[in-house]
Amino acid sequence: MGLFNPTFYEKYQGGLPKVKAPKDFKIKFKKDEMIINYTTFLARKVITFKPEQILEVSLNQQNFRSGGNAAVGAIVGGALTGGLGLIAGAAIGGKRQIENKLHFAVEYQGQNCNIILSPSKKTQKLFNELVDFASKAAPIQQQIQSKQTNLIEEQQNDTKECPFCAETIKAKAIVCKHCGRDLPS
């Protein structure tokens, strides 16, 4: 993220519960939050996300041919050179265009939601901003994993294997809860 808080105006296509598409989203990034503003019939709504709520970000490319340009190319090519020019004009006029649909999965109201935004000129910049924003959660995830590892190690140190039935029991146990035998001290 740069020195300023970038803002994007994008067309929402769906993915959030109780938010009907299409909607115009204003997406603003601040230091530790992403704010989405949109309007409903009578009210302005705000949704705020923390970096750890961004689960996945992807950019799906779609190729298509421009039908309008192909028709113009066919007419011009046909008028200038006859039937063969019609085909060539359509092929040249209807060149491939690439659009990028932005998808990002978020944790919202206890659900995993896949938000889809329409392609725009700033889709790639928004994608980069989302990836940068989501990467801020990495240190938090590392802390969580470290705590989980410590808990597992503590649990392993707090247990032992029964010498008679080989089941895991508490280290302080004097009788095995699985086979019922008295354990040596």
Query: Nearest to residue 115, comparing CAs of 163, 49, 43, 39?
Result: 49
Confidence of residue 56 (pLDDT cuts 50, 70, 90): confident
Domains of the chain by range and CATH? 7-143 (2.30.29.30)
Tokens describing residue 177: 């809860």
Report pLDDT digits (tens) over 61-109: 655 444 555 444 445 444 555 555 544 444 454 455 556 788 888 889 8
With H, G, I as helix, E, B as strand and everything else as coil, classify residue 28: strand
Q: What average pLDDT does the structure give for the chain?
A: 77
Are the C-beta atoms of 3 and 134 separated by less than 8 Å?
no
The pTM assigned to this predicted structure is 0.56
Tokens describing residue 99: 């659009």
Per-residue pLDDT at 90? 46
